[in-house]
Structure 1
Amino acid sequence: MKKILYFSLGSVTFVLGTLGMFLPFLPTTVFYLLTAFFWLRSSDKYYNRFIQSSFYQRCVEEPIVKKQITNKGMLKMFAMILVVFLIPGLLVDNTIMRITLAIVYVAHVIGLSWYLRKPKKVKMGLGEPND
């Protein structure tokens, strides 16, 4: 029963993540991470097919795990985040909310830039020299 629930939730998050590639207000990466989490607990077959798919490789593996994101990719990501933050900022006439959204957006830009540009730590194996 648990596996059916996890598989179903993984399927829903996969569809939402795929839609997120085309709709700027749906976060593809978050939904794909959830898909991997749910399918890991339900089906090895679907989990392995998913993490080897080009969708997962392009949206999760390269930018988040390997930190291989281009400047163009970062600009696109920040532009999409900006669109998501502009929608409520333009629809609601509340100065405090607009200031808060601007602060949170700037925090996202700074935090993600720092995280994605920080060099990835290399783990040393047992048989490798410590030079």
Structure 2
Amino acid sequence: MKKIIFILSGFITFGLGTLGIFLPILPTTVFYIATAFLWMRSSDHLYAKFIQSSYYQKYIQESLVEKKITFWGKVKLFSTIFIVFLIPCLLVKNQMMTITLSVVFVLHFILLNWYFNKKTRVPLEEEK
């Protein structure tokens, strides 16, 4: 039963992640990471097929693992985060919430830029 629930949840997160490619408000990466997790726990076949898919390669492998994100990829990422944080600020007029979301957005901006610009260290054996 647990395996079936994980497989079905994986299909739901995969569908939401794929919708996120076309709808800027849905975070593709988060849903694809959840899909990989759920299918890894439930089906070796689905997990292997997903890892080899072009969707996974483009949105997870290249951008997060290999840190090969383009300038426009960063612009899309930060624009989406900005919009997601802006919506509650516009709907709920609460100064403390607005300040908190602004601080969290700035931290996202700084830390994600640091992560993507950080050079990966070459192992000592390959330096020679």
Q: Normalized against structure 2, the TM-score is what? A: 0.91
Structure 2 stretches lacking a partner, 5+ long: none
Q: Which runs of 5+ in 1 are unaligned?
A: none
Counterpart residue identity of residue 21, structure 1: I
CA displacement at 1:104 relative to structure 2 = 0.6
Q: Is the 8 A contact 1:24 1:84 kept in 2?
A: no
Q: Note closer, same or farther for the CA distance 1:45–1:123 as it changes in structure 2 (3 Å cut).
A: farther
Question: What's the CA shift string for 1:31-76, capped at 9, x where partnerless?
Answer: 1011111111222221111111111111111010000011111111
2:77 aligned with 1:106: no
Cα deviation per residue 1:64-95 (whole Å; 9 max; x = unaligned)?
00000111111111011111111111111111
SS of equivalent residue, structure 2 residue 22: coil
Tell me which residue corresponds to 1:50: 50
Q: Which residue does 2:12 correspond to in 1? A: 12
Identity %: 55
Q: Measure how far apart 1:25 and its partner are.
A: 2.6
RMSD over aligned CA atoms reads 1.6
Contact 1:67 1:116 in 2 (8 A): yes
Select the structure that is richer in helix. Answer: 2
Q: In structure 1, what is the equivalent of residue 97 of structure 2?
A: 97
Task: Note the 1:1-131 alignment, pairs <5 A.
Answer: 1-123=1-123, 128=125, 131=128
